[in-house]
């Protein structure tokens, strides 16, 4: 049975809200504000990479938290469709501004591959943030900087927690999904939000 709030328009709204959440700068700025002022930290690179990581983390969290729910594919498609349109517009404006071709969505796909490869190298990882943080720091050119590693961990966890909140409130009438979201460790092992 489909609940009244689980119609295609509702799913579209949740997907768009999650896409907007992934683009929201508040948690990005919070993570950046926690970095110390060090010459060895390239804050421009970190700001660029942390936004990409937030988008990817939100996308991953949707898949992770939705489990086998019937609305998962529709929600994921809506999320990525919105991000594709945003990326297309951003790429167009940036390309015109700097006079060089830019493909933001391709950058997202490249980062997905990098993070998935890093996770695949540690097949029994209990906490993906323990892999995501160091991978993020490497992408930022700060491989051994604990502050940059923690920034990656922080944005990953904040994104996961934000998606969890969206899904809990959006699907509050769906007892099966609410149980999955409240207890994701039963399905996938220990991943802390």
- pLDDT at position 56 over 80: yes
In the chain, the percentage of residues whose pLDDT exceeds 90 is 56
Model pTM score: 0.84
Q: Which band of pLDDT confidence, cut at 50, 70 and 90, is reported for residue 187? A: very low
Among residues 102, 75, 73, which one has the least CA distance to residue 87? 102
**C-alpha dist (Å) from residue 74 to 48, 112, 154:** 28, 20, 28
The tokens for 150 are 């923690």
Distances (CA, A) of 79 to 59, 60, 63, 75, 113: 7, 11, 11, 6, 18
What backbone torsions phi and psi does residue 31 show, to the nearest 5 degrees? Answer: -65, -40
13, 59, 85, 86, 137 from 10: Cα distances, Å: 5, 18, 20, 21, 37
Per residue in 156-171, pLDDT (tens digit) is 999 999 999 989 887 7
Residue 174 pLDDT: 62
Buried b (16+ CB within 10 A) or exposed e, 38-47: eeebeeeebb
């Amino acid at each position: 049975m489909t609940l009244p709030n689980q119609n295609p328009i509702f799913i579209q709204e949740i997907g768009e809200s999650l896409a907007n959440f992934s683009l929201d700068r508040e948690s990005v700025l919070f993570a950046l504000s926690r970095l110390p002022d060090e010459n060895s930290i390239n804050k421009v690179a970190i700001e660029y990479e942390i936004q990409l990581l937030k988008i990817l983390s939100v996308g991953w969290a949707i898949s992770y938290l939705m489990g086998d729910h019937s609305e998962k594919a529709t929600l994921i498609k809506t999320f990525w469709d919105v991000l594709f349109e945003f990326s297309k517009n951003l790429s167009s404006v940036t390309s015109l501004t700097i006079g060089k071709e830019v493909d933001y969505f391709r950058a997202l796909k490249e980062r997905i591959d990098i993070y998935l490869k890093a996770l695949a190298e540690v097949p029994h990882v209990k906490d993906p943030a323990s892999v995501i943080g160091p991978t993020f720091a490497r992408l930022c050119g700060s491989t051994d900087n604990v502050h940059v590693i923690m920034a990656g961990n922080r944005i990953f966890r904040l994104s996961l927690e934000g998606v969890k909140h969206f899904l809990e409130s959006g699907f509050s009438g769906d007892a099966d999904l609410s149980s999955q979201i409240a207890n994701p460790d039963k399905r996938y092992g220990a991943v802390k939000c």
